[in-house]
A = this chain, B = another copy of it.
Amino acid sequence: MAAEKMALAKAINESLRRALEEDPKVLIMGEDVGRLGGVFRVTDGLQKDFGESRVIDTPLAESGIVGTAIGLALRGYRPVVEIQFDGFVFPAYDQIVTQLAKMHARSLGKVKLPVVVRIPYGGGIGAVEHHSESPEALFAHVAGLKIVSPSNASDAYWMMQQAVQSDDPVIYFEPKRRYWDKGEVDVEAIPGPLHKARVVREGTDLTLAAYGPMVKLCHEVAAAAAEEGKSLEVLDLRSVSPLDFDTIQASVEKTGRLVVVHEAPVFFGSGAEIAARITERCFYHLEAPVLRVGGFHAPYPPARLEEAYLPDLDRVLDAVDRSLAY
């Protein structure tokens, strides 16, 4: 048994290392990913061991990074690109949604673009502006992209393995405030499908659905609710595109209630899509409307306000109570 306890960031690092080892076509690209090992050290040591031609410090230009990664993919490479922070992905947005997402379809399947775009995302680390955003919905609306976000070290490891192996572009959102959370990683395990949600805690009264950084919070909420005698089921969605509606549906058919939690603003966020579709699928099972807990319709606030802005135990419990009150 090859299980080892490691931090989530380290798990990604190990997964990238393995990808570099196993496939000479895998490349790492981004700002400061080389000598520095990235501002979060996720690529620590990789340039040292694999050289500058495989772990590439790029010019400071996100459109250029993604655009050249596309070109490298066309040449047969499998670039794993780092965007330094969530708020800096937008200069690359055009290349991502117009080229990366659409080239496979445009070529009638002739061209594949196995590019992984890594984005550390979300708040809770007291950062300055643009360093705490959760833009996943802005990518999920776009066909041709796959969007995933691990919540723990083991998933971080395995979902990265699968993302690198995917022949589709994958946006891999890293829950940066969980980078230092440790978990068991079994590097010899056989992982389940990349886009399947997981029931991480069983319950009967209400379903909590989350991904990335909010899964841990939902665990805490479920524990707190349990003390009050409420049995909450917690889903780790893991994938935002596709969303695993089957797993959510099965849970909601059992519990009759659903609360979706994410850091991103509620308005036009993932919760909207989940609420709309699950209401359609489970119309006769729902005892209450699907409720959403997430960011407000406001720019991510300065650090001293983020505690008030971010979903927390009380905010989610409040939504649980409101749902149960129906």
Residues of A within 8 A of B (CB): 63, 87, 90-91, 93-94, 97-98, 101-102, 105-106, 129-130, 137-138, 140-144, 241, 264-265, 267-273, 275-277, 279-280, 283, 288-292, 296-299, 326
Q: In the complex, are the beta carbons of B102 and A299 less than 8 A apart?
A: yes
Chain B residues closer than 8 Å to A277, beta-carbon distance: 272
Count identical subunits in the complex: 2
Q: How far is the CA of A20 from the CA of B280 in the complex (A)?
A: 48
* Chain B nearest CB, measured from A85 CB (Å): 12
Q: In the complex, are the beta carbons of B290 and A279 less than 8 A apart?
A: yes
Quick one: which of B268, B288, B299, B326 contacts A140, CB cutoff 8 A? Answer: B268
* A106, A129, A142, A290 interface centre (most CB from chain B within 10 Å): A142
Q: In the complex, are the beta carbons of A106 and B268 less than 8 A apart?
A: no
Q: In the complex, are the beta carbons of A94 and B90 less than 8 A apart?
A: yes
Q: How far is the CA of A283 from the CA of B143 in the complex (A)?
A: 31
Q: How far is the CA of A217 from the CA of B65 in the complex (A)?
A: 42
Quick one: which of B87, B272, B292 contacts A98, CB cutoff 8 A? Answer: B87
Q: In the complex, are the beta carbons of B265 and A141 less than 8 A apart?
A: yes
* Chain B nearest CB, measured from A303 CB (Å): 14
Q: How far is the CA of A142 from the CA of B105 in the complex (A)?
A: 28
Q: In the complex, are the beta carbons of B143 and A265 less than 8 A apart?
A: yes
A283 and B272 contact, Cβ closer than 8 Å, known pairs A90-B98, A267-B140: no
Residue on B nearest A130 in the bound complex, by CB = B98
* Chain B nearest CB, measured from A138 CB (Å): 6
Q: How far is the CA of A93 from the CA of B137 in the complex (A)?
A: 15
Q: In the complex, are the beta carbons of A272 and B276 less than 8 A apart?
A: yes
* A137, A142, A268, A277 interface centre (most CB from chain B within 10 Å): A268
* Chain B nearest CB, measured from A66 CB (Å): 12
Q: A138-B141, A140-B267 are in contact. List 8 more A-B contacts (CB 8 A).
A: A90-B94, A138-B142, A143-B265, A143-B297, A268-B268, A272-B272, A275-B276, A279-B289
* Chain B nearest CB, measured from A325 CB (Å): 12
Q: How far is the CA of A98 from the CA of B326 in the complex (A)?
A: 39
